[in-house]
């Protein structure tokens, strides 16, 4: 190894000086911001640190899978919010992927009607802001649907109303599996699995909007498969559907998976728009907490670390999958 | 090529021309709509669905709709048709937000000027050095018209700006700010200096890993805490700054795409000529890399434009926020669907135009600029 020479005329010497200067600037800027913040916090009488997580939250959360009451701690409130974020994101990914696949293949269909409809779907959803879509879905679900006392019956024991969607839910009763069916009463629908309008609007908005982006990825992935592959398969006498299923899709998948991963992450990040329509995801919970105790720095750090963790885990999982579909080369 | 192939000297015996393409409406219909059984089934189902849906949609949207700002007439519709009267009554609020009513010609003129300048410089033939310089006065006039306080215009505080002009101003500010920052970050990420590379990469990945809304929270809750006392930024400046920091990370990745597409030889040859690193980037690398990424750049402007709708969450009255302001009127609040359709159409018109423009550039840019 060559000894490092501190000389302005050598590239490594200049690089070292430049990096030292950058380090000093970063440290000084960080220190100044830290000092300002400490000063401002003291001036406003805001405490700092994560001790507040053990205190009583005092606000209510509309829904969730984590049991929670206003008497629980902030920590538990955040846990409930994280669970809600994960619930809507996972379900969204599960629904948006097949929908996007269908729309993407529809964009490539030889049937002109199917193709046009898929194109309209993609263009409308991609060129209108997601916030607008979410507000509109939420208002449609909470204003235009019938009252809970006289809900729409979508299927036997599946009810849709201003109160949300009620579905039969499998429950363990006396050691064996039973189906708990919701029933219409004078005060609305009771029993079964109940999904709130906030959850439904967010899920619906995320699924439709993401399906449009996934469709574009599927389309460009399929188009990237050389024509010769399709033609050779057709020449072997394979019917069109099997050409798609056996020849085109397996090869397109390799191109599709990496951008698909970033769409999954986009959907998860976009679920933070829940705060606009009042679904209690982790961002909404943090927003409420900030309004209560003013500890913005801690709450924002919490949200950021939640999303960064989700990002890292998703990226890791998709890398494993990507390795499985990737071309095995000798 | 009209002669049969078998007549050609040396052509393989028995080779025939492909059958001529089928012509005529019936043949074309069969090819496009009834090629296979599943295709035919899809066609029949879709035609049935559209035959049910389209007439109802057209009647609801247009034929039975009320166009005048006539509340009793809208009420009488009982949702059986659209009440565009809401848009007719509230279009000033939706388009200009809380901007003082009597002064709303100013944002209108400013927006018109901006769009005119945009249209005049959209074609690559107009890309000259002086055009870039001409954009500067356009931006200054735009901001002065909105802000006032000069040439006898009454001053209007940025907190009162709203609607479409605010959406456009925010997009322009964020794009203008994120380009230099993005270029610096992209060059930093490809630097040979470990600290520079590390800091740039960390910044880009951290920002791209979190949702925009957390950045807006940082802008509205944290910026006031980070700044020294006495120095205060208004909400619009904070949000514009926050969105710039956010968008710069994405811009950096766009620029990096262009940097990676350049052959290594370009930089190496320039270095071999004895140019300094800065000169290499400035004269050789960036001019080529930036031209390569113009179409993706337009797409990133497009996503910034759509993203500005999020600022309504931190209480700015952009186009989305202004609509919600208009829907705050209890008399008209039930006509939200018409409002969202109208505002959605405005966003769509801008966004669709930009995405087509980007696609057009991608295909034809090479004609005017060396790519």
Query: pLDDT tens, A275-305?
Result: 999 899 999 999 999 988 888 899 999 999 9
Spans in chain A with pLDDT lower than 50: 1
Task: For chain A, give every domain's residue range.
Answer: 74-132+197-325
In this prediction, residue B1 carries a pLDDT of 40
**B-chain residues near A19 (CB < 8 A):** 193-196
**Cβ contact B310–A273 (<8 Å):** yes
- Residue B2 predicted with pLDDT over 80: no
**B-chain residues near A125 (CB < 8 A):** none
Nearest Cα neighbor of A47 from A294, A306, A330 is A294
- Per-residue pLDDT band at B242 (split at 50, 70, 90): very high
3-state secondary structure of A77: helix
**B-chain residues near A287 (CB < 8 A):** 217
**Cβ contact B218–A109 (<8 Å):** no
**Cβ contact A296–B347 (<8 Å):** no
What is the Cα B179 distance to its own chain's centre? 15
- Per-residue pLDDT band at B51 (split at 50, 70, 90): very high
Over its C-alpha atoms, chain A yields an Rg (Å, rounded) of 26
- Per-residue pLDDT band at B14 (split at 50, 70, 90): low
**Cβ contact B310–A39 (<8 Å):** no
In this prediction, residue A71 carries a pLDDT of 86
In this prediction, residue B6 carries a pLDDT of 45
**Cβ contact A19–B226 (<8 Å):** no
Distance CA B365, CA B358 (A): 10
According to the 3-state scheme, what is the secondary structure of B82-146?
A: CECHHHHHHHHHHHHCCCCHHHCHHHHHHHHHHHHHHHHHCCHHHCCHHHHHHHHHHHHHHHHHH
pLDDT winner (highest mean) among B13-17, B250-254, B367-371 = B250-254
What is the Cα B286 distance to its own chain's centre? 24
Closest CB to B355 among A23, A127, A308: A127
Task: Give chain B's mean pLDDT.
Answer: 88
What residue of A is the nearest CA neighbor of B352? A127
- The structure tokens listed for B131 are 């055009």
- Residue B13 predicted with pLDDT over 60: no
**Cβ contact B228–A36 (<8 Å):** yes
**A-chain residues near B212 (CB < 8 A):** 269
What percent of chain B is modeled with pLDDT above 70? 94
In this prediction, residue B50 carries a pLDDT of 94
In this prediction, residue A8 carries a pLDDT of 66
Phi, psi of B76 (to 5 degrees): -65, -25
β-bridge pairing A183-185 and A176-180: unpaired
Shortest distance between the Cα of B131 and any Cα of chain A, in A, equals: 29
Task: Answer with the residue of higher pLDDT: B163 or B230.
Answer: B163
- Residue B5 predicted with pLDDT over 50: no
Q: Is A311 on the interface with B (CB under 8 A)?
A: yes
pLDDT winner (highest mean) among A196-210, B139-153, B217-231, B252-266 = A196-210
Q: Is A305 on the interface with B (CB under 8 A)?
A: no
**Cβ contact B352–A40 (<8 Å):** no
- Give the Å distances, CA to CA, from A303 to A274, B131, B205: 13, 43, 16
**B-chain residues near A286 (CB < 8 A):** 217
Contacting A residues, span 102-131, partner chain B, CB-CB under 8 Å: 109-114, 117, 123-124, 126-131
**Cβ contact B348–A269 (<8 Å):** no
- Per-residue pLDDT band at B35 (split at 50, 70, 90): confident
What residue of A is the nearest CA neighbor of B231? A36
- Residue B3 predicted with pLDDT over 80: no
* Model confidence pLDDT, tens digit, residues B61-115: 998 888 988 889 888 888 888 999 899 999 999 999 999 998 999 999 999 999 9
Distance CA A245, CA B58 (A): 39
CATH architecture of A74-132+197-325: Orthogonal Bundle (1.10)
In this prediction, residue B292 carries a pLDDT of 87
- Residue B12 predicted with pLDDT over 80: no
- Give the Å distances, CA to CA, from A50 to A109, B20, B206, B244, B290: 55, 76, 22, 29, 45
| Helix ranges restricted to H, chain A | 11-44, 74-107, 112-126, 130-139, 197-223, 227-235, 240-242, 249-270, 274-277, 282-293, 296-325
């Amino acid at each position: 190894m060559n000894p490092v020479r501190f000389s302005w005329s050598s590239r490594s010497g200049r690089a070292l000086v430049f990096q030292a200067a950058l380090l000093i600037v970063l440290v000084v800027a960080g220190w100044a911001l830290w000092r300002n913040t400490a000063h401002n916090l003291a001036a406003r009488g805001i405490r700092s640190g994560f001790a507040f997580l053990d205190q009583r939250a005092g606000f209510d959360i509309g829904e969730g899978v984590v049991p929670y009451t206003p008497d629980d701690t902030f920590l538990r409130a955040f846990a409930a919010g994280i669970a809600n974020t994960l619930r809507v994101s996972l379900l969204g990914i599960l629904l948006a992927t097949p929908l996007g696949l269908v729309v993407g293949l529809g964009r490539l269909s030889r049937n002109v009607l199917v193709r046009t409809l898929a194109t309209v779907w993609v263009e409308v959803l991609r060129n209108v802001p997601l916030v607008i879509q979410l507000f509109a879905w939420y208002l449609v679900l909470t204003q235009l649907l019938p009252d809970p006392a006289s809900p729409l019956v979508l299927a036997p024991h599946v009810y849709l109303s201003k109160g949300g969607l009620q579905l039969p839910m499998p429950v363990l009763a006396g050691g064996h599996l039973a189906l708990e069916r919701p029933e219409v009463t004078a005060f609305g629908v009771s029993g079964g699995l109940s999904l709130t309008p906030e959850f439904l609007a967010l899920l619906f908005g995320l699924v439709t909007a993401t399906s449009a982006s996934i469709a574009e990825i599927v389309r460009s992935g399929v188009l990237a498969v050389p024509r010769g592959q399709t033609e050779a398969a057709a020449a072997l006498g394979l019917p069109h559907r099997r050409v798609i299923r056996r020849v085109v899709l397996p090869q397109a998948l390799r191109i599709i998976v990496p951008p698909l991963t970033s769409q999954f992450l986009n959907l998860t990040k976009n679920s933070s728009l829940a705060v606009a329509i009042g679904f209690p995801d982790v961002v909404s919970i943090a927003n409420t907490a900030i309004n209560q105790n003013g500890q913005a720095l801690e709450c924002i750090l919490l949200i950021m670390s939640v999303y960064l963790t989700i990002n890292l885990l998703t990226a890791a999982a998709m890398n494993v999958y990507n390795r499985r579909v990737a071309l095995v080369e000798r | 090529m009209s002669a049969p192939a078998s007549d050609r000297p040396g052509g393989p015996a028995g080779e025939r021309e492909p059958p001529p393409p089928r012509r005529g409406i019936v043949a074309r219909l069969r090819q496009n709509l009834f090629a296979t059984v599943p295709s035919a089934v899809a066609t029949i189902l879709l035609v049935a669905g559209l035959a049910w849906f389209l007439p109802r949609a057209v009647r609801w949207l247009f034929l039975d709709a009320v166009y005048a700002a006539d509340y009793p007439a809208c009420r009488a519709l009982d949702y059986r048709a659209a009440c565009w009267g809401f848009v007719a009554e509230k279009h000033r609020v939706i388009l200009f937000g809380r901007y003082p009513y009597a002064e709303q010609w100013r944002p209108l003129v400013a927006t018109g000027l901006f769009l005119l300048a945009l249209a005049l410089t959209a074609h690559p033939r107009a890309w000259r050095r002086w055009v870039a310089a001409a954009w500067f006065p356009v931006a200054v006039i735009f901001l002065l018209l909105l802000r006032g306080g000069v040439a006898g215009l009454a001053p209007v505080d940025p907190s009162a700006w709203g609607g479409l002009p605010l959406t456009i101003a925010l997009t322009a500010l964020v794009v203008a700010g994120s380009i230099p920052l993005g270029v610096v970050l992209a060059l930093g990420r490809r630097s040979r200096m470990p600290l520079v590379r590390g800091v740039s990469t960390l910044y880009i990945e951290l920002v791209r890993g979190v949702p925009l809304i957390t950045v807006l929270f940082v802008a509205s809750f944290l910026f006031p805490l980070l700044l020294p006392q006495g120095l205060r930024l208004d909400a619009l400046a904070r949000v514009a700054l926050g969105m710039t920091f956010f968008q710069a990370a994405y811009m950096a990745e766009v620029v990096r795409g262009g940097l990676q597409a350049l052959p290594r030889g370009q930089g190496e040859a320039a270095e071999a000529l004895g140019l300094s690193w800065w000169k290499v980037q400035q004269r050789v690398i960036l001019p080529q890399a930036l031209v390569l990424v113009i179409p993706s750049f337009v797409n990133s402007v497009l996503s910034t434009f759509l993203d500005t709708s999020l600022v309504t969450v931190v209480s700015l009255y952009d186009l989305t926020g202004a609509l919600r302001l208009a829907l705050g009127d209890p008399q008209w609040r039930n006509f939200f669907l018409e409002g969202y359709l109208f505002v959605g159409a405005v966003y769509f018109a801008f966004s669709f135009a930009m995405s087509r423009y980007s696609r057009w550039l991608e295909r034809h840019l090479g004609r005017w600029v060396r790519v």
